[in-house]
Homo-oligomer: A and B are copies of this chain.
Amino acid sequence: MTEIEESIAEESPDVAHDIPDIVIGRLPIYLRALMRMVEEGDKVTTSSQELGDRLGVSSAQIRKDLSLFGDFGKQGTGYHINYLVQQLQRILKLDREWPVAMVGAGFLGHALANYGGFKNRGFRVAWIFDNDPETVGQKIGGIMVRHVDGLERVLRREKVQIAMLAVPATAAQELADRLVASGVRAILTYAPISINVPEGVKVQYSDPVAQLQRMTFYLDV
């Protein structure tokens, strides 16, 4: 009975946090497709079947995933698109705008800082840091590039929780450490190297070469 108590013990106010991470990873994909449906504007509801066909996943998977968070659909009708978008945004905590810090203002940093795709999807690049004297002081996408020396001070003051890392591989671990020490809890890194972070900090990787390498296995000759 002690065991039962323990297993009940830790859960968030909203929904239990024993949701498989693999499910969480699919929700943004569902959300992306649903928002596109909203844009298309040609219908009010959709079904797990229709959504699954678009995304290449089974309708059962979509229903099961969503059912972990609540009963969002209606038998015979399906899901109300706007309502489901809202619910997914709430679940993923996207019903607000997260300020993001960008470290590294090279080629990639420039492209990302100018990228219009963050808006309306829950994020805003709010600070950019670099250590190159030539780059510091410039404006990119309307944001002044600050010297990386001030990183800790700014991030701690502003309580920044999310950062993107676009520095050379050699600098990535050190900067990840500094980000974590400054309170960052989620890092999206583009450096082609695995970084180590303490428990409780999330890391996502974006390495186009690794992604290509994952596909060549299946090619002939």
Kindly state the separation between the CA atoms of A74 and B4 in the bound complex, as whole angstroms.
45
Most buried by B among A98, A162, A210: A210
Contact among B54, B114, B161, B213 with A31 in the assembled complex (CB-CB below 8 Å) = B213
**Which residue of chain B lies nearest to A189 when distances are taken between CB atoms in the complex?**
B211
Contact among B55, B186, B218 with A218 in the assembled complex (CB-CB below 8 Å) = B186
Copies in the complex: 2
Cβ B54 vs Cβ A194 within 8 A: yes
Cβ A211 vs Cβ B219 within 8 A: no
Partner-contacting stretch, out of A42-50, A127-135, A144-152, A200-208: A200-208
Kindly state the separation between the CA atoms of A33 and B193 in the bound complex, as whole angstroms.
7
Cβ A192 vs Cβ B32 within 8 A: yes
Residues 165-177 of chain A: 1 if any B CB is under 8 Å from the residue's CB, otherwise 0? 0000100000000
- Asked if A80 is at the interface of the complex by the 8 Å CB criterion, the answer is no
Q: What residues of chain B lie closer than 8 Å to A194, measured between beta carbons?
A: 29, 32-33, 54-56
Contact among B164, B193, B214 with A208 in the assembled complex (CB-CB below 8 Å) = B164
Cβ B204 vs Cβ A188 within 8 A: no
Most buried by B among A19, A54, A121: A121
Contact among B36, B122, B204, B212 with A123 in the assembled complex (CB-CB below 8 Å) = B212
Cβ B24 vs Cβ A98 within 8 A: no
- Asked if A93 is at the interface of the complex by the 8 Å CB criterion, the answer is yes
- Check A117/B209 contact, CB under 8 A, given A56-B194, A194-B56: yes
Q: What residues of chain B lie closer than 8 Å to A202, measured between beta carbons?
A: 215, 218
Kindly state the separation between the CA atoms of A105 and B10 in the bound complex, as whole angstroms.
49
**Which residue of chain B lies nearest to A107 when distances are taken between CB atoms in the complex?**
B111
- Asked if A63 is at the interface of the complex by the 8 Å CB criterion, the answer is no
Give the B-binding residues of A (Cβ under 8 A): 19, 24-25, 27-29, 31-33, 36, 54-56, 91-94, 98, 100, 107-108, 110-112, 114-115, 117-118, 121-123, 161-162, 164, 169, 185-186, 188, 192-194, 196, 202, 204, 206-219
A–B pairs, 10, beta carbons within 8 Å: A32-B207, A33-B194, A54-B196, A122-B209, A122-B213, A123-B209, A186-B216, A186-B219, A188-B211, A206-B208
